C-alpha cells in the first residue's frame, strides 16, 4: 500500500510526546464533523531524558526515529511534520499589561494594537523564547475583565497579557534532534497545556480549572479559565520519586519498588493493611530469599511524597498570586494520577473538587485511553483547539517576524479581533 505524505494543511496530523519516561507518537485524522480520530500510535520507554531534559541526544534521536517509523507503518503515512510538547521546567511566566490613554475616544482595533505595543510582550531576551502568549482580558477605565472592548468609550485602555517563555537552548536541542531525522516542527505546546486540552470538559475550561499532570520525572500544572491558558509551570518532583523512596526505604530494587507501587500502593491506608503481608526481594539477593513487609508500610512511604508534590504545586500557584481556593476544580492526569486515592487526597490539599482524567478522543483503544497519554492526545487536538483558547503564538510566521514588531502583533491580534 502506498504511504500518504501529509503537510501542515493536511487532514492528517502527527503528534510527538517527548517525556521523561517514554516517547510517544500518535497520528490522527480530521473527520467530516471537524473533529479528530486516532489512526494509530507507538510508545517506547526512554531513559535518556531526566526531569524533562535530554541527557543523551543521540539515544533520544534513535528512540524518536523508532516510534516515528513504527507508527508510520501502522498508519501507512509518511510523517514529515510533527506537533511536539515542551517541558516547562525552568520556564518564565510573565503577566504583562499594556496601557493606552484615550481621552474619551471610542475603542477600535488600532487602539487595542497600540495598547499591546505598549507592553513588554516583544522585549528581547537572549536566553528565553516565547512559547505561548495571549490576551487574557482588558481593563476599560475602572471596569475589569472586559473580553472585547471594541466600541466602548474610555479614558484608558489596558490589555492584560499572559506569556510563558522557555529556554532557547532547550528548544535548539529539540530542533536539532528532529532536524537530523528530517522532521519539521509544526507546533510546540507546553506539556500541561496539551494535557488539559485532551482531559478538560467545556465547563471546566470556562469556569476555571487547575490541571495537574503527574509525570514520571516532573509534575506540571496549568490553569485554564474562560477558555484561555492563564498560567503554566512545573515542580521537579514526579512519580519516580515515590518509586525511589520505596526502593531506598525497603532496600529493594527500583523494578520491585515500581511493582509494589503499582500493585499495592495507595495514598490512604486502612486497618487491614497492617495484616496484608507482601514478599519483597532485597538488593543484591542471589539466593532468592525474600523479606516481608505489609501494605501499611508501603503506603507510609507514598503518602508523604504525594503530599509534598501537591503542596509544591499549590505553593507554585500562590507564588504567582493565583489563589488555589479561587478555583474550585482540580483535574489530575499523567501516569502518577493512577495511584489509588490521589484524587481524594487532592480534594483535601486544594479544598476543592478533584477528579482523575483520561484523554477524550475518538478512536482510542484501551491501550492509549490512559492518563499517561493525555499529552500526546492533547497535541493532536491543539492545532484545532488553540483558536478557542485564544492562544495565538503559533500564528506568527517567519514573514511577520521579519517585518518588525508592529506587523507581528498585528498578525497575532487579527486572530483575536
SS (H, E, C) 263-312: HHCECCCCHHHHCCEEEEECCCCCCCCEEEEEHHHHHHHHHHHHHHHHHH
pLDDT category of residue 383 using cuts at 50, 70 and 90: low
Sign of CA dihedral 30, 370, 17, 127: positive
For 397-401, what is the mean pLDDT?
38
pLDDT category of residue 11 using cuts at 50, 70 and 90: confident
Return the C-alpha cell found at 74. 501502522
Segment 55-77, tens digit of pLDDT: 999 999 999 999 999 999 999 99
Residue 47: predicted pLDDT: 92
pLDDT category of residue 287 using cuts at 50, 70 and 90: low
Could you give the CA distance from residue 397 to residue 411 in angstroms, rounded to a whole number? 9
- Cβ atoms of 336 and 219 closer than 8 Å: yes
Segment 81-121, tens digit of pLDDT: 999 999 999 999 999 999 999 999 999 999 999 999 999 99
Residue 122: predicted pLDDT: 86
Convert 126-149 to b/e letters by CB count within 10 Å (16 or more is b). eebebbbbbbbbbbbeeeeebeeb
Return the C-alpha cell found at 82. 510533527
Segment 169-197, tens digit of pLDDT: 999 999 999 999 999 999 999 999 999 99
For 365-373, what is the mean pLDDT?
92
Could you give the CA distance from residue 179 to residue 183 in angstroms, rounded to a whole number? 5
- Cβ atoms of 212 and 197 closer than 8 Å: no
pLDDT greater at residue 265 or residue 290? 265
Q: Is the pLDDT of residue 399 over 90?
A: no
Return the C-alpha cell found at 62. 534513535
- Can you list the positions of beta strands (E) in 107-171? 128-140, 143-146, 153-167
Residue 3: DSSP 8-state: P
Residue 10: predicted pLDDT: 64
Helix, strand, coil in percent for the chain, rounding step 5:
40, 35, 30
Give 381's contacts (C-beta < 8 A, 6+ positions apart).
36, 194, 197, 198, 361
Full set of structural domains in the chain with CATH: 4-89+169-199+375-387 (3.30.420.40), 92-167+393-414 (3.30.1490.110), 201-356 (3.30.420.40)
Amino acid at each position: 500500500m502506498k504511504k500518504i505524505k501529509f503537510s501542515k494543511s493536511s487532514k492528517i496530523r502527527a503528534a510527538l510526546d517527548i517525556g521523561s519516561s517514554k516517547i510517544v507518537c500518535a497520528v490522527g485524522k480530521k473527520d467530516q464533523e471537524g473533529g479528530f480520530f486516532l489512526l494509530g500510535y507507538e510508545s517506547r520507554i526512554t531513559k535518556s531524558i531526566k526531569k524533562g531534559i535530554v541527557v543523551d541526544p543521540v539515544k533520544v534521536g534513535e528512540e524518536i526515529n523508532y516510534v516515528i517509523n513504527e507508527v508510520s507503518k501502522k498508519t501507512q503515512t509518511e510523517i514529515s511534520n510533527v506537533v511536539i510538547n515542551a517541558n516547562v521546567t525552568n520556564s518564565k511566566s510573565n503577566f504583562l499589561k499594556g496601557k493606552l490613554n484615550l481621552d474619551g475616544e471610542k475603542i477600535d482595533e488600532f487602539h487595542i494594537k497600540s495598547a499591546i505595543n505598549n507592553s513588554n510582550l516583544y522585549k528581547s531576551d537572549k536566553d528565553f523564547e516565547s512559547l505561548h502568549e495571549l490576551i487574557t482580558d482588558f481593563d476599560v477605565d475602572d471596569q475589569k475583565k472586559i473580553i472585547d472592548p471594541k466600541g466602548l468609550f474610555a479614558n484608558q485602555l489596558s490589555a492584560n497579557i499572559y506569556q510563558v517563555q522557555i529556554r532557547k537552548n532547550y528548544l535548539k536541542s529539540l530542533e536539532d534532534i528532529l532536524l537530523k531525522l528530517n522532521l519539521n516542527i509544526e507546533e510546540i505546546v507546553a506539556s500541561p497545556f496539551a494535557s488539559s486540552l485532551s482531559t478538560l470538559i467545556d465547563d471546566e475550561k470556562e469556569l476555571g480549572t487547575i490541571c495537574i499532570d503527574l509525570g514520571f520525572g516532573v509534575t506540571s500544572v496549568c490553569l485554564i479559565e474562560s477558555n484561555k491558558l492563564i498560567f503554566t509551570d512545573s515542580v521537579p518532583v514526579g512519580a519516580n520519586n515515590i518509586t525511589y523512596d520505596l526502593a531506598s526505604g525497603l532496600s529493594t530494587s527500583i523494578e520491585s519498588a515500581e511493582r509494589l507501587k503499582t500493585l499495592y500502593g495507595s495514598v490512604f491506608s486502612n486497618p487491614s493493611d497492617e495484616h496484608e503481608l507482601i514478599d519483597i526481594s532485597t538488593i543484591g539477593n542471589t539466593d532468592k530469599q525474600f523479606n516481608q513487609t505489609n501494605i501499611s508500610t508501603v503506603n507510609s512511604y507514598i503518602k508523604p511524597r504525594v503530599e509534598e508534590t501537591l503542596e509544591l504545586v499549590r505553593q507554585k500557584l500562590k507564588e504567582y498570586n493565583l489563589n488555589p481556593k479561587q478555583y474550585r476544580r482540580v483535574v489530575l492526569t499523567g501516569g502518577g494520577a493512577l495511584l489509588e486515592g490521589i484524587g481524594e487526597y487532592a480534594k483535601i490539599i486544594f479544598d476543592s473538587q478533584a477528579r482523575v482524567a483520561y484523554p477524550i478522543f475518538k478512536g482510542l483503544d484501551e491501550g492509549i485511553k490512559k492518563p499517561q497519554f493525555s499529552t500526546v492526545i492533547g497535541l493532536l487536538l491543539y492545532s484545532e483547539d488553540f483558536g478557542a483558547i485564544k492562544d495565538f503564538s503559533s500564528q506568527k510566521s517567519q514573514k511577520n517576524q521579519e517585518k518588525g514588531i508592529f506587523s507581528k502583533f498585528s498578525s497575532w491580534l487579527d486572530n483575536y479581533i
